[in-house]
């Protein structure tokens, strides 16, 4: 297990963590000032400043990426299928331009939520099938662009609107189905917030192997949780056994960044410097 206590060389900041405090250029500047070496930006934050400026800012600051958020939202009705396909291809292109090591996929839930305007459906089985078909189709495009796809299983509370892949085992089943010879082009983004509760987590991590573990995200689970989406905790403020999970991930040989990803109505009200400094401290002492 790697020792994080001496510095924060392995810390990556998911830029949504401070999205309310500044635009991507301000976040990149703050990361550079705090000696953070990597970020994981969101598409809307990149779009807000323009892809070219974002690429230049990241490069000028000497930052690496730990991922790019996000592609996915595959379930759609027939009228929105083309939109889903084109949007995901653009996400791959942007990830490649930014030099991301992978494109994170939040796969989508029922079509009316994944692709607004789609005809309402309660057919979760059909959504599962569309997710698998969507990843299969995108995988060809992503392989040509040399951009690995990282399926992020989301907590089951998001099954309807964000992702109907809710366990690590389900994500790995899709990987095995679509990439049986493990070409390195398909894997998972493991976010402790989504998987910490799963009694099969340790077995799933071992099943990943190093080649399918493409990204590792940390935050904490607060009790009580006041908002389904925007009440993630700072590492150490909740109940997730962070060090044990990281130990299991690193036992695979995972050598990537530890990405801090916190969507929080609480932390979004605090100054950017305070949030970043707290992330650094907790990274060294808790993660």
Interaction site with Zn ion (CB under 5 A): 191, 217, 261
Give the other-Cβ count within 10 Å of 64's Cβ.
Answer: 15
- In angstroms, what is the minimal distance from the CB of 217 to Zn ion? 4
Shorter beta-carbon distance to Zn ion: residue 80 or 237? 237
Q: Which is nearer to Zn ion, 8 or 217 (CB)?
A: 217
CB of residue 120 to Zn ion, shortest distance in Å: 27
Question: Which CB sits closer to Zn ion, 60 or 227?
Answer: 227
SS3 150: strand
CA distances 11 to 37, 64, 106, 148, 281, Å, are 7, 11, 22, 21, 11
Residue environment code for 123-145, b if the CB has 16+ CB neighbours within 10 A, otherwise e? eeeebbebbbebbebbbeebbee
CB of 123 to Zn ion, least distance (A): 27
Separation between Cα atoms, residue 166 and residue 106, nearest integer Å: 10
User: Do the strands 258-260 and 213-218 form a parallel or antiparallel pair, or are they unpaired?
Assistant: parallel
Q: For Zn ion, which is the closer residue by CB, 30 or 260? A: 260
Output 37 or 217, the one with its CB closest to Zn ion. 217
Three-state SS sequence of 233-286: ECCCCCCCCHHHHHHHHHCCCCCCCEEECCCECCHHHCCHHHHHHHHHHHHHHC
Taking the least distance from each CB to Zn ion, the nearer of 8 and 194 is 194
Both tokens of residue 106? 């939040």
Which tokens go with 267? 């932390």
Q: What minimum distance in Å lies between the beta carbon of 175 and Zn ion? A: 17
What is the C-alpha to C-alpha distance for residues 58 and 286, in angstroms, rounded to an integer?
28
Please, what is the minimum distance in Å from the beta carbon of residue 193 to Zn ion?
Answer: 7
Q: Taking the alpha carbons of 44, 46, 52, 55 in that order, is the dihedral positive or negative?
A: negative
For the bound state, the minimum distance from the C-beta of residue 12 to Zn ion, rounded and expressed in Å, comes to 11
Least separation, in Å, of the C-beta of 148 and Zn ion? 16
Query: CB-side exposure of 281: number of CA atoms within 13 Å?
Result: 9
* Cβ–Cβ < 8 Å for 43, 65: no
Residue among 118 and 167 whose Cβ is closer to Zn ion: 167
Question: Which residue of the chain is nearest Zn ion when measured via CB?
Answer: 191
């Amino acid at each position: 297990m790697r020792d994080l206590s001496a510095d924060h060389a392995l810390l990556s900041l998911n830029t949504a963590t401070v999205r309310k405090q500044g635009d991507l250029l301000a976040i990149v500047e703050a990361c550079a000032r705090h000696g953070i070496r990597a970020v994981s930006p969101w598409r809307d934050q990149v779009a807000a400043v323009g892809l070219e400026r974002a690429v230049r800012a990241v490069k000028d600051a000497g930052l690496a990426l730990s991922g790019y958020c996000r592609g996915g939202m595959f379930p759609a009705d027939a009228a929105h299928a083309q939109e889903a396909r084109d949007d995901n291809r653009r996400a791959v292109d942007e990830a490649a331009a930014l030099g991301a090591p992978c494109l994170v996929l939040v796969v989508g839930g029922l079509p009316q939520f994944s692709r607004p305007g789609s005809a309402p459906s309660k057919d979760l089985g059909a959504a599962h099938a569309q997710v698998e078909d969507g990843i299969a189709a995108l995988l060809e495009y992503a392989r040509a662009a040399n951009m690995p796809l990282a399926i992020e299983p989301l907590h089951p509370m998001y099954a309807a609107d964000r992702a109907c892949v809710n366990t690590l085992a389900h994500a790995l089943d899709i990987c095995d189905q679509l990439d049986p010879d493990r070409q390195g082009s398909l894997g998972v983004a493991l976010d402790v917030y989504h998987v910490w509760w799963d009694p099969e987590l340790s077995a799933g991590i071992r099943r990943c192997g190093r080649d399918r573990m493409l990204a590792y995200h940390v935050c904490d689970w607060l009790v009580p949780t006041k908002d389904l989406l925007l009440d993630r905790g700072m590492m150490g403020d909740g109940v997730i056994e962070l060090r044990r999970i990281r130990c299991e991930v690193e036992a695979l040989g995972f050598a990537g960044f530890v990405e801090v990803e916190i969507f929080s109505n609480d932390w979004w009200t605090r100054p950017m410097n305070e949030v970043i400094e707290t992330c650094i401290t907790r990274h060294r002492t808790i993660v």
